[in-house]
Chains A and B, each alone.
Chain A
Amino acid sequence: MDKATFRIWRGDANEADFVDYETEVSEGMVVLDAVHRIQAEQANDLAVRWNCKAGKCGSCSAEVNGNPKLMCMTRLNDIPLDQPVTVEPMRAFPLIKDLVTDVSWNFKVKEKMKPFTPRPPDAEDGTWRMEQEDIDHVQEFRKCIECFLCQDVCHVLREHHLHDEFIGPRFFVYAASLEMHPIDTENRLEELKDLDGIGYCNITKCCTNVCPEHITITDNAIIPLKERVVDQFYDPIKKLFRVFGG
């Protein structure tokens, strides 16, 4: 069997550094397999999150050779093994230990957003009628597995640390899924503008590029939301209408 070296970030918030581990690699292995092998054989206390091992739960986010990835979907034959493979935690979130970061901020952000609020049911049995083509784009947003890789790469969070003023791409996707939901009645545009900081996004598309679910975050969620915000708050003609239309 071949061997490869994995340079894994070890330590906690106080002190941490890379540690090299050499381990056997075999056909079809993904980075998470290698990390697990190291954990089982050489470093029992290595901290790493995972659940599904199939790209469905969004637990195993990390930075592999500097690229934000799901470790369970990153195959070793796609990365050069003649040099050490670096595996680091997501850098936009505080480190707990090794590869595990404190992502609790994300859960708090969601809790503060206005929940789904449906219109009264269309049918007597309490159900609604929706055309498939009207929900296709919302279903795209609902594919999100909350891996927070998009949050990890967004410079507004990663470099500028504007966590208090900016909810990040994941939650623009969430906002879009609610705003464009055919039976939702709530309006979230004011919050998006004032509290959620949609204006900070300068459409670099880094988030879209890393999304393992291939959600077109920028084009399909953020830009349309920005347009709606502009329409509601800045479009002078519409504003006039609102004033007179009451």
Chain B
Amino acid sequence: MASYETFDYDVLIIGAGGAGLRAAIEAATGDLKVGLVCKSLLGKAHTVMAEGGVAAALANVDERDSWRAHFADTMRGGQYLSNARMAELHAKESPDRVRELEAWGALFDRTQDGSILQRNFGGHQYPRLAHVGDRTGLEMIRALQDHGIHQGIEVHMENTITTLLKTGDRVSGAFGYEREKGRFKIFSAKAIVLATGGVGKAYKITSNSWEYTGDGHSLAYHAGAELIDMEFVQFHPTGMVWPPSVRGILVTEGVRGEGGILTNSEGNRFMFDDIPELYVNQTADSTEEGWLYTQGDREARRPPELLTRDHVARCIVREVHEGRGSPHGGVFLDIAWIKEKIPNAQEHIRRKLPSMYHQFKELADIDITEEPMEVGPTTHYIMGGIRVDADTQMTCVPGLFAAGECAAGLHGANRLGGNSLSDLLVFGKRAGEYAAQFAEENGAVPLEDSSVEEIAQHVLKPFDNPEGGENPYQIQSELQDKMQELVGIARSQESLTQALEEVQTLREKAENVHSIGNREYNSGWHTALDLDCLITVSEAIALAALERRASIGAHSRDDFPEKEEQGAGKYNTIVHKTEDNTMAIRREPVPELTEEYEQIIEEMG
């Protein structure tokens, strides 16, 4: 018999990034007992890395902004595959969620009149991103953390959940281990919120950390929830490309928001060469107009560098493929050029983009106030994820909720920058609120002991496997290579079919991973356990990518360049687990937009 500690909660939150913390704070407003589990230390989740800002139509900088404009921008950015109700709630509620952070101690940069300053970002018609230099995520997670620790939430840091427990149809708890000693913990809960973030570790070149192994996606999938639109993985156009050890680290879109331009080896601003139809009316037709836009000229239209991320990433890949790349296989991102335009440019850049300045200075010996950066696409975010109800964030499994990056619906085929941080706040709060309500309305369900023993055995298997078995890091690295190569920016029937086979092979290999050492803070063992999730989400991404025979948003098929498959209409792809434990996929049409929504979109141009 394995031994374990047990904990009882009304609401258990898995994940302590922006979404999890906001959910926990909300769930704890009554007198419910709330537990919060996270893999790293508190305050280190991905949210801390977010740079550019949080999108909210506060209209502090441009009074023409409104929730309707934000709604329309989000829908357009998502190529109209987003859940419109979520886009509405998000646009309407994000201003309050941002203001509320100030009541908890956050200090955003200010406008002249002392209110929250907002900056331009790709796909947003008006300056909309509240920010603190380029360290907005740090400000956000710290404000939530410092407020959260006084709300009576019990925090389990450096604990990993490996399995959700169900009793009948309902979710009833979770099984996990603590990293320090490797001991098991069982959490029983009336309601559970997944807020585990993304899947970036499935790829070689990524801005994401070791934590992003798709745990929430996989937990939900195995518990019977559905995953939608998993093919939409966002490749952020600007990651570092040199030196090799920092390849993939993010270069915030804020650089372009502040006037940074993209050029190729011929010195050409190639983004002007290809402007998608959906955006022609909103895009500058001269470099001067683009510059004026970044400086707040309200009559000017945005420079093409600030088109949506999917498009910018593809243009960069095109330049590199056609031989116009930079020395290390990227393109140039130049912010230093603004010294032609403004006095004190160097100081201005260091003040507006302090962490970019340091990042390049310290990691690449590049002074961004003097010379251009080299950048190229990096795996950044997943639009797809756990399917939830728009209002409550509940999955199809009673008592199981999801919010933040691991949930899906808001971003459709492509996410706009800044719309994630706001997503976390709006839907984190909603998930916390409705999970609490669910817990209040439904009593506790007893855990079924029999499954626990089996889970424990599975978790310990890497130690029991014979010595000389597979090295977990090796398998992870092979998977990343395959996903990068076969399920990256350019995909085809052939590459995706091959990817599914490779994933299968790696799944079999992973069965034999061997962990050396003991259970105490054993990174190799943890990596071995994360493989389960990583392989599950990789399969889901490849399967969904194979199903969508079109090139739309972040998903590009070489063999289907058209935006829509003939006669197929708009649909979401839905991955779920069948009774015989295999992964199945189906399509569901995207519901027709209501007249009201149609009208807003039309009105907002």
Contact = CB atoms under 8 A, between A and B. Distances in A.
Contact of A54 (B43, B113, B249): B249
Contact of B245 (A33, A118, A135): A33
A115 B210 contact: no
Interface string B105-134: 101011001111000000000000000110
Nearest to A29: B245
Contacts of B115: 127, 129
A51 B212 CA distance: 10
Contact of B244 (A28, A50, A127, A132): A28
A28 B242 contact: yes
A237 to B, nearest CB: 33
Contacts of B149: 107, 110-111
Interface string A119-137: 0010001111111100100
A9 to B, nearest CB: 13
Nearest to B137: A56
A28 B243 contact: yes
B500 to A, nearest CB: 26
Contacts of A48: 523
A185 interface: no
Given A53-B249, A55-B358, A132 B109 contact: yes
Interface stretch (B96-104, B263-271, B279-287, B414-422): B96-104
Contacts of A142: 107, 132, 138-139, 142
Contacts of B114: 128-132
A89 to B, nearest CB: 11
A105 B242 CA distance: 38
B275 interface: no
Contact of B243 (A29, A49, A135): A29
A130 B107 contact: yes
A240 B521 CA distance: 57
A170 interface: no
Contacts of B278: none
Contact of A145 (B99, B138, B210): B138
B474 A40 contact: yes
B477 interface: yes
A163 to B, nearest CB: 18
A40 B477 contact: yes
A104 B158 CA distance: 11
B44 A51 contact: yes
A139 B192 CA distance: 35
A58 interface: yes
Please indicate which of the listed interface residues A52, A107, A121, A139 has the most CB atoms of chain B within 10 Å of its own CB.
A52
Contacts, number: 171
B133 to A, nearest CB: 8
Interface in A18-71: 26-30, 33, 39-41, 44-59
Contacts of B133: 139
A40 B147 CA distance: 38
Interface string B64-107: 00000000000000000000000000000000000100111101
Interface in B548-589: none
Contact of B523 (A46, A56, A96, A111): A46
A19 B46 CA distance: 32
A109 B246 CA distance: 34
Interface stretch (B312-320, B332-340, B512-520): B512-520
Interface stretch (B359-367, B394-402, B481-489): B359-367
A103 B43 CA distance: 13
Interface residues of B, number: 66
A12 B181 CA distance: 11
Given A44-B516, A143-B135, A59 B41 contact: yes
B465 interface: no
Contact of B104 (A49, A55, A58, A116): A116
Contact of B516 (A45, A53, A59): A45
Interface in B231-246: 242-246
A138 interface: yes
A107 B44 contact: no
B442 to A, nearest CB: 31
Please indicate which of the listed interface residues B45, B113, B524 has the most CB atoms of chain A within 10 Å of its own CB.
B524
By secondary structure, the A interface counts as loop
B113 A129 contact: yes
Nearest to A104: B157
A180 B92 CA distance: 33
Interface residues of A, number: 60
Please indicate which of the listed interface residues B180, B246, B474, B521 has the most CB atoms of chain A within 10 Å of its own CB.
B521
Contacts of A56: 48-49, 135, 137-138, 355
Nearest to B135: A143
B493 interface: no
A145 B45 CA distance: 12
Contacts of B109: 132
Contacts of B355: 54-56
A206 B79 CA distance: 53
B44 A57 contact: yes
A56 B472 CA distance: 27
Contacts of B157: 104, 107
A8 interface: no
Interface in A92-119: 96-98, 100, 102-104, 107, 110-111, 115-116, 118
B29 interface: no
Contact of B146 (A33, A46, A116, A127): A116
A127 B521 contact: no
A125 B524 CA distance: 51
Nearest to B243: A28
B150 interface: yes
B152 to A, nearest CB: 11
B181 to A, nearest CB: 9
A47 B523 contact: yes
A44 B471 contact: yes
Interface in B212-235: none
A97 B523 CA distance: 11
A107 B42 contact: yes
Contacts of B437: none
B597 interface: no
A90 to B, nearest CB: 13
B472 A44 contact: yes
B377 to A, nearest CB: 17
A52 B210 CA distance: 9
B40 A45 contact: no
Contact of B102 (A28, A45, A127, A138): A127
Given A44-B527, A55-B355, A96-B520, 5 more contacts: A44-B516, A44-B522, A47-B521, A57-B48, A102-B180
Lowest 7 A-B CB distances belong to which pairs? A28-B243, A44-B524, A45-B517, A129-B114, A40-B473, A116-B105, A47-B521
Interface of A: 12, 26-30, 33, 39-41, 44-59, 73, 75, 96-98, 100, 102-104, 107, 110-111, 115-116, 118, 121, 125-132, 135, 138-139, 142-143, 145-146, 178, 181, 184
27 contacts: A28-B242, A28-B244, A28-B245, A28-B246, A28-B364, A30-B246, A30-B363, A33-B245, A40-B474, A44-B471, A44-B472, A44-B515, A44-B517, A44-B522, A47-B520, A47-B521, A47-B522, A49-B41, A55-B362, A56-B49, A56-B138, A107-B149, A116-B104, A126-B99, A127-B115, A132-B110, A142-B132
Interface of B: 40-46, 48-49, 99, 102-105, 107, 109-110, 113-116, 132-133, 135, 137-139, 142, 146-147, 149-150, 157, 180, 209-211, 242-246, 249-250, 355, 358-359, 362-364, 471-474, 477, 515-518, 520-525, 527
